Amino acid sequence: MENLIAPLIAAPLLGAAVLLCGGRRLDRAGHWIGTVLAGASFVIGVLLFADLLGRGAEDRTLHQHLFSWIPVGSFRADIAFQLDQLSMTFVLLITGVGTLIHIYSIGYMEHDERRRRFFGYLNLFLAAMLLLVLADNYLLLYMGWEGVGLASYLLIGFWQHKPSAATAAKKAFLVNRVGDLGLSIAIMLMFTTFGTFAFGPVLGAAGDASEGKLTAIGLMLLLAACGKSAQVPLQSWLGDAMEGPTPVSALIHAATMVTAGVYLITRSGAIFNGAPDAQLVVVVVGAVTLLFGAIVGCAKDDIKKALAGSTMSQIGYMILAAGLGPIGYVFAIMHLVTHGFFKAGLFLGAGSVMHGMNDEVDMRKYGGLRKYMPVTFVTFGLGYLAIIGFPGLSGFFSKDKIIEAAFAKGGTEGWILGGVALLGAAITAFYMTRVMLMTFFGEERWRGRETASPAEPSAEPAAEERGRHAEPHPHESPKSMTIPMVVLAFGSVFAGGLFSFGDSFVRWLEPVTGYAHGHPPISAAAVTTATVVALVIGVAVAWLMYGRVPVPVTAPRGSLLTRAARRDLLQDDFNHVVLVRGGEHLTRSLVYVDHTLVDGVVNGTAASFGGLSGRLRKLQNGYARSYAVTMFGGTAVLIAATLLMRAV
């Protein structure tokens, strides 16, 4: 069975190669090739999953060694794969949600002349993400890691004739690169500490290394995770990344790519377990991001950006859980999977709404859409209920466990973390209810209004062809788009219950990540009650603000916090002033220095030689007799010198 691991990655990779090199000939069949290959990958994944289930719990790790990649001295990196319960979970999520999004994109991208290329990029993304989770050493993981970055660069900037999209793509890649810096330093540290960077030996020997080394490795891994998972302080790219087509947002920035950081931390659990300081930083980052994303999500009027804020916040939950150690790893992954379902569903729903609304993204110009888009409304609604943690739906199970684990951390820390997690749950309920109310309920604010005003260019340039200035005629999306939404809605409803049933998910992952049952200072029932109360408060406040009173079409000025949150809590302003401006000044002054100083020294040397020879040439005055004098003088000096030497 282990020979099936490589085909798992090879299928979408082949798709990418064929679609990107195939040229215009494949334009008509390109989307089918891409979708079928993604589906093939999912089928292989399911086969492998069935095989794993048939084995004993301790025997569920498969290895496939292809060939030696970089053998230099004691440095050995192999192209080799490892499939265990953790990577299996990811494989199913990536290929499953990925295939659904491929299907959705067939309809969504129908009018785009570059649809073939879009599917090529999607396939490339799947291949890179699968490589990331299936690698059996950190260097190969790094290859997948950067491959994911590349694919997201291509997809975010898919409409690259729009400067904003090109800039967003570049920003995403650059911020990710800063994170990659952390991963590469972590790998170097592993090499100098353990002499290898394969999972088995490194994680097995983690206990033998000094705590300082482990902390350093852990912090560097966290930096990497922050980049990929959009955690504070490397979160700024996620909002801009919504410039990409909506299926991209669903696939990359909700269901898979941003979860890579959680995977990395969970996978490196053995390292973090030996480095409490690093764990503390992880937890803090998770908690801060959780609130950060939630606050940003509350203020955005752009439906995709509001969802992006929510993604950031939910990943914050996962990172927080992963930082808690063995009491949290399993729940981090569980929340990751359920989040994959409902967030993909929400994004696809948002895409469907935009599709029917002439690609308008401003929620203030929506309203009352439930009548016109029933399928979208129901699936989006179920996703909404799941994400706010409505009891019985999948988000409830996973989030509740995380909050419980946060309290179980113990001491003051536990109370603070638990409180933050509860607060986050309340804010989540608030902003998601806000999205829901503004989009599907209330009065129809789009009546008699032009959509996608030029001042706020539409995300989807195809709108130009569809007549962007007309009043929208909301309609349900085609089948190819609604079916994936329905499937994901099913996942949003049932996944949590299924995973929690008899602790099946915990038992499935325990052999890989380890599990310790946490004991919160208050009873589990009390935590659950508190979560539900927080949820109710959040929903109620949102209803009071956006349901009971009509929503103004132009956004009110808002409080200081609202205005800051609209600008992503000033993160970009900070980056702009400190990094962009500073960098520009630095490079400009360096260009000046290079030209005047470094080059100047050389040119100056040349000039001074020129000046010297200018002086010397005055001796050449053309008078034969003055030359004769020089000659006589020179001869006299030589003779005198010779005589003198003789005498001495």
Q: Judged by CB, which is closer to another protein: 180, or 360?
A: 180
Which among 367-375, 383-391, 460-468, 582-590 is the span making contact with another protein, rule CB under 8 A?
A: 582-590
Q: Assign 3-class secondary structure to 304-326.
A: HHHHHHHHHHHHHHHHHHHHCHH
Q: Judged by CB, which is closer to another protein: 149, or 286?
A: 149
Q: Judged by CB, which is closer to another protein: 143, or 299?
A: 143
- Could you give the count of Cα atoms lying within 13 Å of 561 in the half-sphere of its Cβ? 6
Q: Is the dihedral of CA 530, 536, 538, 544 positive or negative?
A: negative
Number of residues that bind another protein (CB under 8 A): 76
- Alpha carbon of residue 575 to chain centroid: 18
> Do 521 and 414 touch, CB atoms closer than 8 A?
yes
Which among 73-81, 265-273, 462-470, 516-524 is the span making contact with another protein, rule CB under 8 A?
A: 73-81
Q: Is residue 640 a contact residue for another protein (CB under 8 A)?
A: no
Cis peptide leading into residue 7 (ω within 30°): no
Question: In the chain, how long is the greatest CA-to-CA distance?
Answer: 120
Cα 616 from Cα 613, distance rounded (Å): 5
Cβ at position 350, least distance to another protein in Å: 25
Q: Is residue 195 a contact residue for another protein (CB under 8 A)?
A: yes
Which of 56, 58, 74, 448 is in the footprint of another protein by CB under 8 A?
A: 74
Give the Cα-Cα-Cα angle 55, 56, 62 (nearest 5 degrees): 55
Which of 549, 591, 607, 641 is in the footprint of another protein by CB under 8 A?
A: 591
Cβ at position 287, least distance to another protein in Å: 27
Q: Judged by CB, which is closer to another protein: 131, or 232?
A: 131
Cβ at position 11, least distance to another protein in Å: 17
Cα 617 from Cα 286, distance rounded (Å): 76
Which of 504, 529, 587, 642 is in the footprint of another protein by CB under 8 A?
A: 587
Q: Is residue 465 a contact residue for another protein (CB under 8 A)?
A: no
Which of 556, 622, 647, 648 is in the footprint of another protein by CB under 8 A?
A: 622
Which of 60, 116, 213, 305 is in the footprint of another protein by CB under 8 A?
A: 213
Interacting positions 32-71 with another protein (CB under 8 A): 67-71
Q: Give the residue among 170, 186, 387, 417 at the shortest CA–CA distance from 289.
A: 417
Q: Assign 3-class secondary structure to 151-189.
A: HHHHHHCCCCCCHHHHHHHHHHHHHHHHHHHHHHHHHHH
Q: Is residue 646 a contact residue for another protein (CB under 8 A)?
A: no
Q: Judged by CB, which is closer to another protein: 58, or 208?
A: 208
Torsions phi, psi for 300 (to 5 deg): -80, 140
Cβ at position 198, least distance to another protein in Å: 8
Q: Is residue 79 a contact residue for another protein (CB under 8 A)?
A: yes
- Alpha carbon of residue 453 to chain centroid: 30
Q: Judged by CB, which is closer to another protein: 54, or 204?
A: 204
Interacting positions 97-156 with another protein (CB under 8 A): 139, 142-143, 145-147, 150, 153
